[in-house]
């Protein structure tokens, strides 16, 4: 199977562009606007069922989250919670499941939201309420119980929630390469690479190449989730790395060429450039490259 498809997942419910108080909430709609005149096959997800979310999240947490209640376990997302946000996040979780199914069928597929890697089973964290990647892994395993999954998380922040949830799952391998001296408190992934701040294109890409090569000898996945955070960009407000746009394009080509026979799901995750248009341009660039354009 070749990594060249036109399958993108988006819902109008992702659009939180009038929530100016939430960092980068407008980017999902802007990303859609940046891509909508190109030739893509659009797929709209439903709102995820509670039973699907419960494959990962605890009853107590879902009670508070689905009820849009600001409590000890939901407030750690550090963003306000209301019914519209709950609906947006639930839909994004179903969107990641849908993108994973499309990837298995077409080789590659992207969700225009998702990659909420700081969400734990029992609490929200760092702008993340539902761990859509872990939910998709468990949802897919209902039909394919032995599905081997690799998570490649290149957001500037560690995929702490995903690492914690999938720890002990022998059919999963979590790889996170992130800035050491940054949020969050680190969990243990299968493979962690802690980066010094201020790292530039060449040093970053050399480390990535080395680690991807090592993973090839350690694990044989049937599906890859790519958490394609662009907060490694040099002008990001929450990241301390110094990659250029061209450096990030090189990263995407490297991931696109990694285990090319394995279906790939692409999730945007973080991006908080001081100029919002840069974030949107970077996420759009990721999608085009990952789909072989
Ligand atoms: Zn991030």
Tell me how far the alpha carbon of residue 120 lies from the centroid of ligand 1, in angstroms: 15
Residue pLDDT, tens place only, 234-246: 999 999 999 999 9
- Which of these, 113, 95, 93, 7, lies nearest to 45 by C-alpha position? 95
Tell me how far the alpha carbon of residue 115 lies from the centroid of ligand 1, in angstroms: 9
Tell me how far the alpha carbon of residue 218 lies from the centroid of ligand 1, in angstroms: 26
Residue pLDDT, tens place only, 58-103: 999 999 999 999 999 999 998 889 999 999 999 999 999 999 999 9
Tell me how far the alpha carbon of residue 208 lies from the centroid of ligand 1, in angstroms: 17
pTM of the model: 0.97
| Sheet containing 149-153: order of strands | 41-43, 7-9, 108-111, 264-267, 223-227, 149-153, 172-179, 191-195
150: phi then psi, degrees, rounded to nearest 5: -110, 130
Using 70 as the pLDDT threshold, list the residues of the chain that sit under it. Answer: 1, 21-22
Tell me how far the alpha carbon of residue 272 lies from the centroid of ligand 1, in angstroms: 8
Cα 159 to Cα 226: distance, rounded to the nearest angstrom:
11
pLDDT at 18: 84
Tell me how far the alpha carbon of residue 228 lies from the centroid of ligand 1, in angstroms: 9
Tell me how far the alpha carbon of residue 83 lies from the centroid of ligand 1, in angstroms: 24
Tell me how far the alpha carbon of residue 26 lies from the centroid of ligand 1, in angstroms: 16
pLDDT at 1: 66
List domains and CATH numbers for the chain: 7-290 (3.40.800.20)
- Which of these, 127, 52, 42, lies nearest to 90 by C-alpha position? 52
Tell me how far the alpha carbon of residue 267 lies from the centroid of ligand 1, in angstroms: 12
Kindly list the distances between the CA atom of residue 122 and the CA atoms of 60, 65, 113, 116, 280, in Å, as whole numbers in the listed order: 7, 10, 21, 14, 31
- Which of these, 130, 194, 212, 188, lies nearest to 157 by C-alpha position? 194
pLDDT at 62: 98
Which H or E run includes 215?
helix 201-218
Tell me how far the alpha carbon of residue 273 lies from the centroid of ligand 1, in angstroms: 11
């Amino acid at each position: 199977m070749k990594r060249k498809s036109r399958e993108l997942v988006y819902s109008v419910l992702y659009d939180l562009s009038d929530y100016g108080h939430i960092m980068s909430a407008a980017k999902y709609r802007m990303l859609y606007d940046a891509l909508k005149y190109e030739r893509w096959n659009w797929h709209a997800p439903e709102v995820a069922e509670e039973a699907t979310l419960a494959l990962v999240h605890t009853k107590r947490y879902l009670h508070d989250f689905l009820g849009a209640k600001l409590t000890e376990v939901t407030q750690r997302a550090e963003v306000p919670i209301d019914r519209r946000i709950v609906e947006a996040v639930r839909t994004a979780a179903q969107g990641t499941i849908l993108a994973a199914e499309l990837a298995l069928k077409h080789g590659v597929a992207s969700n225009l939201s998702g990659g909420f890697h700081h969400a734990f089973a029992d609490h929200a964290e760092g702008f993340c309420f539902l761990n859509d990647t872990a939910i998709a892994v468990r949802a897919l395993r209902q039909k394919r119980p032995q599905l081997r999954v690799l998570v490649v998380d290149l957001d500037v922040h560690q995929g702490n929630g995903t690492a914690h949830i999938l720890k002990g799952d022998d059919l999963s391998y979590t790889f996170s390469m992130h800035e050491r001296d940054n949020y969050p408190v680190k969990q243990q992934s299968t493979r962690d690479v802690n980066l010094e701040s201020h790292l530039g294109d060449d040093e970053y890409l050399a480390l990535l190449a080395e680690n991807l090569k090592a993973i090839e000898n350690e694990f044989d996945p049937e599906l890859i989730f790519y958490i394609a955070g662009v907060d490694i960009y040099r002008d990001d407000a929450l990241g301390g790395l110094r990659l250029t746009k061209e450096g990030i394009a090189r990263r995407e080509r490297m991931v696109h060429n990694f285990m090319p026979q394995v279906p790939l799901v692409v999730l945007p995750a973080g991006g908080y450039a001081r100029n919002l248009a840069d974030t949107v341009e970077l996420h759009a660039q990721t999608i085009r490259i990952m789909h072989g354009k």
